[in-house]
A and B are shown apart, each in its own frame.
Chain A
Amino acid sequence: DIVMTQSPLSLPVTPGEPASISCRSSQSLLRSDGSNSLVWYLQKPGQSPQVLIYLGSNRASGVPDRFSGSGSGTDFTLKISRVEAEDVGVYYCMQALQTPLTFGGGTKVEIK
Chain B
Amino acid sequence: EVQLVESGGDLVQPGGSLRLSCAASGFTLSSYWMHWVRQAPGKGLVWVSRINSDGSSIVYADSVKGRFTMSRDNAKNTLYLQMNSLRAEDTAVYYCARFRSGFLDVWGKGTTVTVSS
Residues of A bordering B, CB below 8 Å: 35, 37, 39, 41, 43, 47-51, 54-55, 60, 90, 92, 94, 96, 99-106
Contact = CB atoms under 8 A, between A and B. Distances in A.
Given A48-B95, A54-B102, A103 B46 contact: yes
Contacts of A100: 47, 59, 61
**DSSP majority for the A interface?**
loop
B82 to A, nearest CB: 19
B104 A39 contact: yes
A90 B59 CA distance: 27
A96 B45 contact: no
Contact of B103 (A47, A51, A99, A102): A51
Given A48-B108, A50-B107, A99 B101 contact: no
Contacts of A94: 45, 103-104
A50 B109 CA distance: 11
Contacts of B109: 47-48
B107 A96 contact: no
Interface of B: 35, 37, 44-47, 50, 59, 61, 95, 99, 101-105, 107-110
A39 B103 contact: yes
A60 B105 CA distance: 9
Contact of A37 (B35, B59, B102, B110): B102
Contact of A96 (B46, B103, B108): B103
Contacts of A50: 107
Contacts of B99: 96
B44 to A, nearest CB: 5
Nearest to B45: A103
Given A92-B44, A100-B61, 16 more contacts: A35-B102, A41-B45, A43-B45, A48-B95, A49-B45, A51-B104, A54-B105, A90-B44, A94-B103, A96-B99, A99-B50, A101-B35, A101-B104, A103-B44, A103-B46, A104-B44
